[in-house]
């Protein structure tokens, strides 16, 4: 059974800092890995999707990497802004269908 862990559970940083969020998973037989953002009381916004054959994806100030062999992914946020404050969720897609296994999330606060 796939298990996904995100560390840290919460993070508070001053504006402008570069930061890294970590995600680890137990079963390397994945289809893809997706990073989401969730604002309080809202749904999930897809940030980046990495296919199992890829090593990284970039979008603006965000960069996500994937190391299947070690069961790890990182989300790098450059020059953080207060608007980046949200919960960031990592989810692993399995090979059997459109089922995602989610980590517990990292709650990020960027202080002005």
Partner 1 sequence: KAGVTQTPRYLIKTRGQQVTLSCSPISGHRSVSWYQQTPGQGLQFLFEYFSETQRNKGNFPGRFSGRQFSNSRSEMNVSTLELGDSALYLCASSRIRSDTGELFFGEGSRLTVL
Per CB under 8 A, residues contacting partner 1 are 31-32, 34, 36, 41-46, 49, 51, 89, 91, 93, 96-105
Alpha-carbon distances, residue 70 vs 27, 29, 35, 65, 102 (angstroms): 10, 11, 18, 12, 18
Q: 86 or 89: whose CB is closer to partner 1? A: 89
Q: 54 or 85: whose CB is closer to partner 1? A: 54
User: What's the closest the beta carbon of residue 71 comes to partner 1, in angstroms?
Assistant: 19
How far apart are the C-alpha atoms of 101 and 91, rounded to whole Å?
5
User: What's the closest the beta carbon of residue 111 comes to partner 1, in angstroms?
Assistant: 24
Q: 24 or 34: whose CB is closer to partner 1? A: 34
How far apart are the C-alpha atoms of 71 and 9, rounded to whole Å?
18
Place of tokens 């190391």: 67
Q: 41 or 60: whose CB is closer to partner 1? A: 41
DSSP assignment of 67-100: ETTTTEEEEEE-S--GGG-EEEEEEEE-SSSS-E
User: What's the closest the beta carbon of residue 33 comes to partner 1, in angstroms?
Assistant: 10
């Amino acid at each position: 059974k796939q298990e996904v862990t995100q560390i840290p559970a919460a993070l508070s940083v001053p504006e402008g800092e570069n930061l890294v969020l970590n995600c680890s998973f137990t079963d390397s037989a994945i289809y893809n890995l997706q990073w989401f953002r969730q604002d309080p009381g809202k749904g999930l916004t897809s940030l980046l999707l990495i296919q199992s054959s890829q090593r990284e994806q970039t979008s603006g100030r965000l960069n996500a990497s994937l190391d299947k062999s070690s069961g790890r992914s990182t989300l790098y946020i450059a020059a953080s802004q207060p608007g980046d404050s949200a919960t960031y969720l990592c989810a692993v897609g399995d090979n059997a269908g459109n089922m995602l296994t989610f980590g517990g999330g990292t709650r990020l606060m960027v202080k002005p």
